[in-house]
Amino acid sequence: MTTPPLKILITGGAGFIGSAVVRYLIQRTSASVLNVDKLTYAGNVLNLEEVAHSPRYGFLQADIANGAALAEAFAGFQPTHVLHLAAESHVDRSIDGAADFIHTNIVGTYQLLEAARQYWRQLPQARAEAFRFVHVSTDEVYGELPLDSPQAFTETTPYAPQNPYSASKASADHLVRAWHHTYGLPTIISNCANNYGPYQYPEKLIPLVILNALAGKPLPVYGNGEQVRDWLHVNDHASALYTLLLKGQVGDTYNIGAHNERKNIDVVKRICALLDELQPQSTPYARLITFVEDRPGHDKRYAIDASKISRELGWRPQYSFAAGLRETVKWYTENRHWCEMVG
């Protein structure tokens, strides 16, 4: 008996990570996709031009906090899987105004869980057993690690979020676990490292530095730039999420990372060196580096131990940070039109 093709309802599929997942699914699998996205400032249909005309791709503009719209989407599309990526995700914005983060990340996740539960409950037994709800979260829910420690976040690290964004994501994670343990909804949670790659909205560190440098603007670095982040190429993240859809253990959590810890200042300097090579100017781009006042509650270090997903599910990242960063810098230099349209 052949397994029917996957039908995946994706939330936030017009955003940076979501669009990478949609492109991956349409270009590299036989799955059908319904992309449910509100199209806030960080979501853009331009991110999906490569796959928008596929007969296996559909789009619904809707707020995931709108339960009626979600119920209609489930009833009409009849998904085999849900991949929940919709989220407000920028720490600075959460500090300036947390309301949108509470609305989307907490209330929206609740509404999606309820819509999925009501849909799942009425499925025939075989389809109900095969159904999966994969919730995509962040390593920031774990708080911070000491700069001089060999320790990394594991799936059993206690939660200790320290800003409104990470607190809202931690809340969503707890809701997902509760819906599994209380109602039996077949959920899986992933917690990922910092993502980078093409189509990332220009407010985030790597695209911000690239575009500011090309425009001759200051390259703002918080504090002394010694904060450490673990970097994961978005295409590797997409392949990891597809692995979870197919092989993930219901009720379990998987950390997704690429073991690429770098200081922020070193990432900025490396981008400058790549631009010196790819888009040379009369003076080095590093002259534009400007240290600015640190943001409140800035976590010192994140690091992901991704050994579990590798050991249990066979997933491994394909991008080295050096190759991924070069590709990313090159993409932004060659896609100025996209940057102007979404910025």
Point out the residues that are catalytic.
139-140, 165
Q: Are 177 and 114 in contact (CB under 8 A)?
A: no
CB neighbour burial string for 303-324, b if at least 16 within 10 angstroms, e if fewer: bbbbebbeeebebebebebeeb
What is the residue whose two structure tokens read 């209330």? 107
Report DSSP letters for 30-57, one per residue: --EEEEEE---TT--GGGGTTTTT-TTE
3-class DSSP assignment, residue 86:
coil
CB neighbour burial string for 204-214, b if at least 16 within 10 angstroms, e if fewer: bbbbbbbbbbb
Closest-CA residue to 10 (of 53, 67, 72, 73): 73
C-alpha 280/C-alpha 296 separation (Å) is: 35
Neighbours of 93 (CB within 10 A): 17
Closest-CA residue to 300 (of 232, 224, 233): 224
Chain-centre distance for alpha carbon 42: 12
Any idea what the Cα angle at residue 140 is, between residues 142 and 12, rounded to 5°? 130
Neighbours of 178 (CB within 10 A): 14
**In the chain, helix, strand, coil percent, each to 5?**
45, 15, 35
What length is written for the chain? Answer: 343
